Amino acid sequence: MSNVGFIGVGYMGYGMAKNLLKKHNVYIFAHKNRKPINKLKKIGAKELKSYNEIKKQKLDCLMICVTNTPVALNVAKKIKQELDSKTLVIDLTTHNKNGALKMDKIFKSKKISYNFCGVMGGPVQSEQGILGGIYGGKKSNFLKCKKYLNSFCKSVFNFGDVSKASSAKLLSNFLSLMTTTSVIEFFKSAKKLDINIKLLCDVARLGSGNSGALDRIADKAIKGNYKGYVFSVDNTYKDLNYINDLVSDLPNANKLSKIAKSFYKQASKKGFGNLLVSELIDKEKY
């Protein structure tokens, strides 16, 4: 069994680490949120209290799945001294347009192989092991990385270098978040206009309005449960900031992402940042 380190066992990381445990020895890192760590320890994960303990574990692979680019860069700077040059680094973080390149540069300075793999899907898909992977890195490392990524990905697609893959991840998020935003406003509008939302969803599912976002949100929201889309308002705002920057030279895409970004910026200012985006359906104004 290979030794796999995992930094960031949060919303998404928990399911990934849980699936990795089926075939690998998994080492997780101490964090203030004890719930996922304690659950993983109960099924065999070993907890490391600090990055200084990495060297002793002789890791074959280290995965990083953190909140944003600044956090990832901070982690990379701290751990690069502790890793063996043979350790395969797989970064699952959603980065801004230059984040993956900066991460690559940090690890290259220590001759460590850096690989990017954005994932599509949510916490449910993460636990089920059916995420979609967006890989970027050396062609020679693709199959090596798939050995680990297949633990929680249904399919992994090779987009070439880390920059291309990171941009592809943001564009994929652009599509999913714009669709999700439309579904949220669809529900709010139906409520305001007093239209039967169940019938409206049934009709929408028969046309091109059908989507993964609608599926995640609709069945629960119809029953008054607005927690179907497990992605926070603040994370959505962060991703749309990254997307807006990425498409700054594309006028229409820039305008679209800017408008959507403004919705979540306002929601965050209203104190809704920690809510799931689908919970905004139940908020009159944001």
- 87 DSSP 8-state letter: P
Confidence at 11, pLDDT banded by 50, 70, 90: confident
Q: Do domains 3-160 and 170-282 have the same CATH topology?
A: no
Give the pLDDT score at 285: 64
Helix, strand, coil shares of the chain as percentages rounded to 5? 55, 15, 30
Report whether pLDDT(164) > 90: yes
* pLDDT tens per residue, range 228-257: 999 999 999 999 999 999 999 999 999 999
CA distance 158 to 264: 31
Mean pLDDT for all residues in the chain: 96
Question: What share of the chain in percent tops pLDDT 70?
Answer: 99
What is the Rg, in whole angstroms, of the alpha carbon atoms belonging to the chain?
20
pLDDT (average), residues 6-18: 96
pLDDT recorded at residue 163: 97
pLDDT at 286: 60
The CA distance from 43 to 40, in Å, is 5
Which CATH topology does 3-160 take?
Rossmann fold (3.40.50)
Helix/strand/coil (H, E, C) string of 168-214? Answer: HHHHHHHHHHHHHHHHHHHHHHHHHCCCCHHHHHHHHCCCCCCCHHH
CATH number of 170-282: 1.10.1040.10
pLDDT confidence band for 61 (50 / 70 / 90): very high
The residue with greater pLDDT, 283 or 270, is 270
pLDDT > 90 in the chain, percent: 94
DSSP E strands in 37-144: the ranges are 46-48, 61-64, 88-91, 113-120, 131-136
Least confident of 73-77, 142-146, 281-285: 281-285
pLDDT of residue 109: 96
Instruction: Indicate the domain borders of the chain.
Output: 3-160, 170-282
pLDDT in tens, 165-211: 999 999 999 999 999 999 999 999 999 999 999 999 999 999 999 99
Q: What is the mean pLDDT of residues 136-152?
A: 97
pLDDT-derived band of residue 1, with 50, 70 and 90 as boundaries? confident
What is the model's pLDDT at position 15? Answer: 97
Q: Mean pLDDT across the stretch 112-121? A: 98
**CA torsion through residues 25, 29, 33, 38, sign:** positive
Would you list the DSSP string of 207-246? Answer: STT--HHHHHHHHHHHTT----S--BHHHHHHHHHHHHHH
